[in-house]
Amino acid sequence: MEAPALCRHILITSFVLLTAQTQGFYTDQDHDAVLPEVFPDRLQFFEFESVSVRCEGVSGSSTQTVWKKLKTSCFSEACNSSAPSCTVNPAFERDSGEYWCGTGEGGQRGAVNISVTAGLVILDIPATPAAEGSNLTLRCIDKTSELVHITDFYKDGVYHKIGYKSHMTLQNISKSDEGRYKCSISGKGESPESWLAVVKPQTGPDEEAPHLRGQTKTVILLRVSLTAVLLLLIGVILIRKHKNTPTMLSCCQRGADTNNFEAFKFSYA
């Protein structure tokens, strides 16, 4: 393969390699959406309660802030532009909406939907996704009383189960348990509806932690970048070498022509 063609091949290969790895890097980042932490860990609140949404301490969110899109608004806005956390105290119904970790209005993946109600009933459903194979108890809370109530639970708008002690337990959770839940107490009313997310559990120490995944991605991207730079340098060296080669050949050719001319003159002398 001639030098120009080889150089073009090296340049194209390095460009394709770098582009593919970079696209894969950002695709993985998008796939690993950062889920904010909610304190207390539930999705429903009574008015005048305090609720905090935090991005600090969440893997990959050291420079992110809490964004929100309230149900009463058509626009997204930063909950607190100066810190990676947001505390609403006291909370009102108008504070209901989606909250997520991000650096701008884009990237609304991994949002949690928080409901604040002026009613008397809420469902104690966690903001943290439930792990497959685990057990989870959903409690129906009456704002005016701590007494135990007979409670009706609903999933995706359909009657699901009755709880004789104000709660219902989901055992050996699977993906089929994922959905929207609410509860109702006779004479008190019903709670808002919230989404229960179900995820695969970490399998053990061999499971790569999120921060290690981030480090691995950084190392891979660095290696690919260095490889691309090295290939580019090799291409530049080959190009320069090829440019110098014709000059050297022409000098040698002129020297050979001069010797032949001298030999011709000598033969006729």
Q: pLDDT tens across 41-83, in order?
A: 999 999 999 999 998 755 554 567 888 888 877 777 877 766 7
* Mean pLDDT value across residues 211-227: 60
pLDDT surpassing 90 at residue 191:
yes
Phi/psi-derived region of residue 265, left when phi > 0, alpha when psi is between -120 and 50, beta in every other case: alpha
Report the C-alpha gap between 76 and 105 in whole angstroms.
6
Helix pair 210-268, 3-31: axis angle to 10 deg? 170
State phi, psi for 123 to the nearest 5 degrees.
-105, 125
Report the C-alpha gap between 263 and 50 in whole angstroms.
104
The distance between the two most distant Cα atoms of the chain, rounded to a whole number of Å, is: 131
Q: What's the Cα-to-Cα distance from 162 to each of 3, 182, 258, rounded to whole Å?
A: 78, 12, 108
> What is the tens place of the pLDDT at every residue in 105-128?
555 567 899 999 999 999 999 999
pLDDT surpassing 70 at residue 129:
yes
Residue 238's pLDDT band (cuts 50, 70, 90): confident
Report the C-alpha gap between 139 and 173 in whole angstroms.
16
